[in-house]
Chains A and B, each alone.
Chain A
Amino acid sequence: MPKQPTSTKSGQAREALRRRQQQQAAADRRLRIIVRTAWIAGITAIAVILGVTIWTVANARSSGSAAPPVSGPVIVPPNGTDAGAVRFGQDGAPVTVTVYADFMCPFCGQFERANGEALQSAVAAGTVKLEVHPMAFLDAQSAGSKYSTRAANAFITVASSDPDAALRFNQLLFANQPAEGSSGLSDDRLAALATQAGASADVVASFKEQRFVPWVNQLTQQAFDSGVTGTPTVKINGQPFTGDLYTPGPLANAIQQAASGA
C-alpha cells in the first residue's frame, strides 16, 4: 500500500526529468543552429569583403593604367626659368624670393595666407623678383583627381599670359584650398577662380589642354633633385629662409633687410 504513491511519485519525477531533458535537448539544438548560422554568415561576410577588396584594388590598377598619362613635349612658359620656376616682377628687382609650394599642401596655404599680400606688394613695388615653383607631389592626396597637377597647370597657364592675374589666382587658390585627402577643387571651380582673378576666357578654356603638365612633372623632379625636402620651402637670394613662415612679418622683415643690404 505505501509503495503505490512512491512509485507514482517516482514516475512523476521520471516524467519531469524526461521533460527537462527534452527541453535541454531542444535548447541545445537551437543553440547549435544559431552557432552554425552565425559561422556560415560570418565566413560568407569575410569572403565577400575579401572579394570586394581584391576586386576594387584590381580594378583601380587597370583603370589607372587605362588613363593615358599626360605626355608630350615639355613646354616652358615665357616667364619660366631653367630651374623650373615661374618668375614674377621686374628683372632689376634687388631681392629674389623663391617659393616651392604644392597647391594641396595645407602649410603652403598657411604660408600664403600669412605672406601673400606682402609678397605681392613687394613684387608690385619692384623690390622683389618672385620665383614660384609649383610642385605636384601631393597628387596622391586628392582621391585620384590629381589636384596638385591640375592646379599647377592652371596656375602656369594663367602666368604664361597674364602674370598679375596669376598672382591673384595663386592667392585665390590658397584662400579656397581644399582639404588634403579630398578630391580637390573641380575643373569648373578652378576655371571660375581663374576668371575671378582676371584671366581671359581663352586662357581659362585652355586649362583642359594640360599643356604645362609635362613641365610640372619635370620641375617637381627638379625640386627634389635640388634638395628640397618639404613644402613650403622659401629662399631669399638663394639662401633658405629659416624664420617663421606662418605669421605675417618675419619674411617681410628679412626681405626688407636683404633689400637694404643690396
Chain B
Amino acid sequence: MPEVTAVIDADAEMPGDASDASGEAEGQRPGMGRLRRLRQSNGWIFGTMLFSALLSLTASFVLSVDAVVLAADPQAALACNINAVLSCGTVGASWQASLFGFPNAFLGLVAEPVVITVAVASLGGVRFPRWFMFAAQIVYTLGLIFAYWLFFQAFFVIGALCPWCLLVTLSTTLVFTSLTHVNIRDGNLYLPQSVSRVARSLIAHDLDLLLVTLWLVGVTAMVVIKYVPLML
C-alpha cells in the first residue's frame, strides 16, 4: 500500500513542481515562466534533439567523405598541407580517427538517423516504451564518452582540431542533454524513487540547462585559450 501511494505521489509531484517553479518565476517576470514551460515541453526537447542530430549527421557525412578521399589518395593525407586550416597533424590521419578500424564518422552515419527517427516520431506524438528509451540512453551515453575522448585526444595529443569534429562534439552534447532531460522527466531510467525525485526537481528548476551551459562555455574557453593566441 505505501508503495502505491509513493508512486502516485511521485507522479503527482512533477507537474506540481513544474507549475510551482514557473509560477514563482511568473510572479517576478511573466515572460520567464512561459519560456521555462516551453523548455520543458516535448516540442522544445525533441526539436532540440532533432536539430542537433541533423547537425551531427551533416558533420559525420562530411568527415566520412573526407575519410574516403584520404583513403583513395594516401599522399593527400601524408603531407603537411600548407593550405589546410590546421596543417599536417590532421586529425583525419591519426589512429584515433579510426579507432575501430574504420573512420569514426561512420558511427555517426549509423547512429544519428536513429536519433532523428526517435525525435521525429516523438514530435508526432509517439511514446516509446521505457526499455527502449533506457537503451537509447545507454548507447548515446557511450557515444558521448567516445566523442569527448576524441575531443581530448585531438586537443592534448594530436594538437590539432578540425571544425567538423568540434561540431560533432557540440551536437552530441546537445542530443545527450535533451535525451537525458526527457528520460528523467518521464522516469525512463529505472532510478530509485528518491534519486528520480531529486533529478526531476533539479530539471524542473532548469539546473540541467545551467550545467550544460557551464560545460559548453568551459569547453569553448579551452579551445579559444589554446588556439586563438596562435592565430593572432
Contact = CB atoms under 8 A, between A and B. Distances in A.
Interface of A: 31, 35, 38-39, 42-43, 45-46, 49-50, 52-53, 56-57, 60-61, 64, 102, 105-108, 110, 137-138, 140-141, 143-144, 179-182, 224, 228-233, 242, 245-246
B89 A141 contact: yes
B207 interface: yes
A57 B223 CA distance: 11
Interface stretch (B107-115, B178-186, B188-196, B212-220): B212-220
Nearest to B218: A49
Nearest to A105: B80
B152 to A, nearest CB: 13
B5 interface: no
Interface string B65-99: 00000000001001111110001110000000000
B201 A141 contact: no
Nearest to B17: A31
Nearest to A35: B205
A245 B77 CA distance: 13
How many of chain B's residues touch chain A, expressed as a range? 20 to 34
Contact of B80 (A46, A50, A138, A242): A138
B217 A229 contact: no
B78 A60 contact: no
Interface stretch (B122-130, B136-144, B224-232): B224-232
Given A137-B87, A144-B229, 20 more contacts: A31-B205, A39-B207, A42-B210, A43-B210, A45-B214, A46-B217, A53-B220, A57-B232, A61-B232, A102-B80, A106-B89, A107-B78, A107-B80, A140-B230, A141-B230, A181-B89, A228-B82, A230-B81, A231-B79, A245-B78
A38 B80 CA distance: 47
A233 B89 CA distance: 16
Given A46-B213, A181-B160, A182-B159, A229 B82 contact: yes
A242 B78 CA distance: 12
A164 B160 CA distance: 35
Residue among B81, B213, B230 with the highest chain A CB neighbour number at 10 A: B230
A231 B80 contact: yes
Q: Chain B contact residues: over half helix, strand or loop, or mixed?
A: helix
B89 A38 contact: no
Interface of B: 75, 78-83, 87-89, 158-160, 201-202, 205, 207, 210-211, 213-214, 217-218, 220-221, 224-225, 228-232
B229 A64 contact: yes
Contacts of A138: 80, 87-88
6 closest cross-chain pairs (CB), A and B: A181-B159, A60-B229, A230-B79, A105-B80, A180-B89, A42-B210
A64 B232 contact: yes
A125 B78 CA distance: 30
Contacts of B229: 56-57, 60-61, 64, 144
Nearest to B224: A53
Contacts of B225: 52-53, 56-57
A144 B230 contact: yes
Nearest to B201: A31
A35 B207 contact: yes
Contact of A42 (B80, B87, B88, B214): B214
B178 to A, nearest CB: 19
A42 B88 CA distance: 38
Given A42-B211, A57-B225, A179-B159, A106 B88 contact: yes
